[in-house]
Amino acid sequence: FRFYHILNCEYGKNTIKFLRLHREGKKQFVKEVEVCAHLRLTSPQEYLEGNNSLVIPTDTIKNIVLVLAKKNGIPSLEQFAIDICNHFMTTFCQVAYVKAYVQEVPWQRLHEDGVPHIHSFICVPDGIRFCEAEQCRNGPLMVFAGIKDLKLMKTTQSGFEGFYKNEHTTLPERHDRILCGELFCKWSYGECKDFDFNCIWKKIRECILEAFAGPPDCGEYSPSYQKTVNCIQMFVLSRVSQVQVIEVVLNNTFYNVVDMKNLGLTNDKEVSKCFKYLTALFRNTQPQSTAAVLYKIK
């Protein structure tokens, strides 16, 4: 192997899906999650030599995740991911690196006439919460969190003008358009401390919505998707001191006003056609998106 160098050699268990039920008297609470747990061992002997003596089977990894959920509960996604990392680091000396990803199904408690139901829930697709925790042996525990599949729209106070033009440009300038996209946002907490992760996540989600929409009575003009992404990042970093780095991706959805002149009608932006495309080259990608990473300078 003189001419080869192993860049990475890890394995793990993906899509460990389960529901954790918690009871407080008659009232019940649910957390449905999907967990991925990956390990890197101190020696790649199973990879190079076929020696499995250090390998923790993926079925064992799955069982450990389920046992931790039973014993510790899931006070927050971040804490559960931390529990997974801590368990593998403290239990198995052959583990050199562990990474846990946890994603939550967005169940919300049902309300009837304003009264919360004690055991009934509804799945509301208003963004999926997720987190990651990773640790190298003798290294710091790193925690990331985020929200994805959050669909946002503003029907005015958005445009796209003054962009670079050449002989290939066919896109017209627009000073009033619908701005719509599917948002992915991921942030880092830096050195992991005793944070109230649930409270911080809710605050960041509120910041994202406020920065995107602007004041409720008038909104705020967006000159581009790029500027909207920057406003979200700057607003979160200014309001949430625990966040050190933030990444935002806004996958664009376009609505074009339908020309109804040939139908004898004037369409004052009441009817628009949505343009969605199928992309076959890269799974989980969109044909047009805006992405940026921003971090604080201490």
* Residue 252 annotated as lining a ligand binding site: yes
Can you read off the two tokens belonging to residue 8?
A: 């990475």
Residue 40 dihedral angles phi and psi, to the nearest 5° = -125, 130
* Residue 59 annotated as lining a ligand binding site: yes
Q: How far is CA 8 from CA 41, 47, 89, 223, in A?
A: 10, 11, 19, 42
How far, in Å, CA of 83 to CA of 31, rounded?
16
* Residue 228 annotated as lining a ligand binding site: no
* Residue 58 annotated as lining a ligand binding site: yes
DSSP three-state, residue 270: coil
How far, in Å, CA of 271 to CA of 193, rounded?
50
* Residue 170 annotated as lining a ligand binding site: no
| C-alpha triplet 194, 199, 201: angle, nearest 5° | 100
Q: What's the chain's Rg over C-alpha atoms?
A: 23
Contact by Cβ (8 Å): 192, 142: yes
Strands, DSSP E only, in the chain?
Answer: 11-24, 27-41, 95-104, 107-112, 115-123, 128-136, 141-154, 179-191, 245-257, 272-275, 289-295
| C-alpha triplet 213, 219, 220: angle, nearest 5° | 85
* Residue 177 annotated as lining a ligand binding site: yes
Residue list for the binding site for urate:
58-59, 160, 177, 226, 252
Residue list for the binding site:
58-59, 160, 177, 226, 252
Residue list for the binding site for O2:
252
Residue list for the binding site for 5-hydroxyisourate:
226, 252
